[in-house]
Chain A
């Protein structure tokens, strides 16, 4: 980049177009009925997986423990906009007929709290007990393309450099992923702009497309791994016919065409880093409440802090890690005060990290276009608008 070459040494790779569908090299696509899907979930449960999938709770779709397809948000869809989320009836029995859940898979792979170690103090003797990494096997049911990209980004950030995060590694190592191609795009979705959806292309064991207008409704299933093929082989399914395979592409084309938001993703790195003193940062800083909602729902925001606690006697102590947000004043605290004192500077840090310096650090954008930060911002701040404000020629 021209204006600020110093701390941004890597030329950002310009995103290529959408990757081709990983049409299974392992097996041709199969078709699964709802009963077959239930059998598949039962098979995963039988093999020791904790089943996690979308449910309706508190008037939103969230990921939580499920038992069967009966727990899924059958017939629900979502209406999303800046600072706005409502569930609505679809008028059919689609299980995955909503755009994107309120929270991503992040809490299951990188939980909000994680104990790192505990210790016993006896006089001057200290005995430290490292917290063992978990060994739970999880199955993610209904992961979207943007979420698979987000998981790939977290893999790179948390496992790619240095020794990596052992807790993330342990959870991640045990995950079985059933992805779903999106049949609707939400009002705040822009995965197409970020080349992160709506079609799942990699990072799944099984990928479904819900053909909800067929009678009876069925799923087209691709296997992405041998583990995926093995589970699929254990349940009743049939080879997909040409019409069903074509229907999948029609659905995806429709989803791609109905994205609620757009962002010009070419050269965002240079655009943002070349405009670090643009007046629009101040303007957005005046609206931003610095609440940190965007960082909580962002599937790639993974900043953490640590806290040491001890009991009253001081004998039992422990250190825990918890999610942190670059919007808090403590985040950049250096004895005496915060480096990023103003809300404008904190917003700028969040957005430039997500869309620009992530390229330097990890070789790609840190945004997957899921739109959660727009939907869950209490004042409806929209990063796609912020990018447009910076790209626009200065007024006057």
Chain B
């Protein structure tokens, strides 16, 4: 567990957490590994775990009938897989499928939610970790929507 704590300490993603809160986080974390092709999240399934990628990339996908899986974003080491556990109804929005061997840290989303509810300081700091990701993905999605490479250049 101590080594896991050190791994979490080194992750820029969790910088907003103070050391006590980081230690608390560690209690709900465990290492996880996935082979290529494995699903870390399934669209519309309860999101009771989320992941911090350490090695390997995966794709967020939406299945389009007739087109198969469409990739909407790829995630790579240092990034978070799973944001839907934060808000009701706590169900995943996309399929998250590994296309390389994955090493990650898995978090117990349900128990972290409970901790956020019980300890608002912890909850506030954890939101500080997640808000920039949400904002960045929103901006990226809007830029994609503009379809700037279509005719503008």
Residues from chain A with a CB closer than 8 A to the CB of B151 are 335-336
Q: How far is the CB of B146 from chain A (nearest CB, A)?
A: 12
Q: How far is the CB of B151 from chain A (nearest CB, A)?
A: 5
Size category of the A interface is under 10
User: Is B152's CB within 8 Å of the partner chain A?
Assistant: yes
Contacting B at CB under 8 A, from A327-343, are 334-336
Across the interface, name the chain A residue whose C-beta is closest to B152. Answer: A336
Residues from chain B with a CB closer than 8 A to the CB of A336 are 151-152
Across the interface, name the chain A residue whose C-beta is closest to B150. Answer: A336
Binary per-residue interface labels of chain B (22-56) against chain A in the complex, 1 for a CB within 8 Å, 0 otherwise: 00000000000000000000000000000000000
Contacting A at CB under 8 A, from B121-153, are 151-152
Across the interface, name the chain B residue whose C-beta is closest to A335. Answer: B151
Binary per-residue interface labels of chain A (304-344) against chain B in the complex, 1 for a CB within 8 Å, 0 otherwise: 00000000000000000000000000000011100000000
- In the assembled complex, the Cα of A85 lies from the Cα of B151 at a distance in Å of 46
Q: How far is the CB of B88 from chain A (nearest CB, A)?
A: 42
- In the assembled complex, the Cα of A365 lies from the Cα of B152 at a distance in Å of 34
Q: How far is the CB of B45 from chain A (nearest CB, A)?
A: 42
- In the assembled complex, the Cα of A336 lies from the Cα of B152 at a distance in Å of 6
Q: How far is the CB of B153 from chain A (nearest CB, A)?
A: 8
Q: How far is the CB of A153 from chain B (nearest CB, A)?
A: 35
Q: How far is the CB of A286 from chain B (nearest CB, A)?
A: 28
- In the assembled complex, the Cα of A12 lies from the Cα of B152 at a distance in Å of 35
Q: How far is the CB of A358 from chain B (nearest CB, A)?
A: 30
Residues from chain A with a CB closer than 8 A to the CB of B152 are 334-336
Across the interface, name the chain A residue whose C-beta is closest to B151. Answer: A336
Residues from chain B with a CB closer than 8 A to the CB of A335 are 151-152
Q: How far is the CB of A113 from chain B (nearest CB, A)?
A: 32
Across the interface, name the chain A residue whose C-beta is closest to B153. Answer: A335
Q: How far is the CB of B148 from chain A (nearest CB, A)?
A: 10
Q: How far is the CB of A385 from chain B (nearest CB, A)?
A: 37
Q: How far is the CB of A2 from chain B (nearest CB, A)?
A: 30
- In the assembled complex, the Cα of A335 lies from the Cα of B152 at a distance in Å of 7
- In the assembled complex, the Cα of A336 lies from the Cα of B151 at a distance in Å of 7
- In the assembled complex, the Cα of A334 lies from the Cα of B151 at a distance in Å of 10
- In the assembled complex, the Cα of A335 lies from the Cα of B149 at a distance in Å of 12
Contacting A at CB under 8 A, from B78-136, are none
- In the assembled complex, the Cα of A369 lies from the Cα of B50 at a distance in Å of 70
Residues from chain B with a CB closer than 8 A to the CB of A334 are 152
- In the assembled complex, the Cα of A328 lies from the Cα of B151 at a distance in Å of 22
Q: How far is the CB of B147 from chain A (nearest CB, A)?
A: 11
- In the assembled complex, the Cα of A9 lies from the Cα of B152 at a distance in Å of 29
Q: How far is the CB of A117 from chain B (nearest CB, A)?
A: 30
Across the interface, name the chain B residue whose C-beta is closest to A336. Answer: B151
- In the assembled complex, the Cα of A334 lies from the Cα of B153 at a distance in Å of 9
- In the assembled complex, the Cα of A180 lies from the Cα of B20 at a distance in Å of 88
Q: How far is the CB of A339 from chain B (nearest CB, A)?
A: 11
- In the assembled complex, the Cα of A334 lies from the Cα of B152 at a distance in Å of 8
Q: How far is the CB of A19 from chain B (nearest CB, A)?
A: 49
Q: How far is the CB of A341 from chain B (nearest CB, A)?
A: 14
- In the assembled complex, the Cα of A46 lies from the Cα of B1 at a distance in Å of 106
- In the assembled complex, the Cα of A335 lies from the Cα of B151 at a distance in Å of 7
- In the assembled complex, the Cα of A336 lies from the Cα of B148 at a distance in Å of 11
- In the assembled complex, the Cα of A349 lies from the Cα of B78 at a distance in Å of 47
Across the interface, name the chain B residue whose C-beta is closest to A334. Answer: B152
Q: How far is the CB of A336 from chain B (nearest CB, A)?
A: 5
Q: How far is the CB of B22 from chain A (nearest CB, A)?
A: 43
- In the assembled complex, the Cα of A176 lies from the Cα of B148 at a distance in Å of 54
Q: How far is the CB of A111 from chain B (nearest CB, A)?
A: 36
Q: How far is the CB of B58 from chain A (nearest CB, A)?
A: 35
- In the assembled complex, the Cα of A335 lies from the Cα of B148 at a distance in Å of 12
5 contacts between A and B (CB under 8 A): A334-B152, A335-B151, A335-B152, A336-B151, A336-B152
B interface residues with partner A (beta carbon < 8 Å)? 151-152
Q: Which 3 A-B pairs have the closest CB atoms?
A: A336-B151, A336-B152, A335-B151
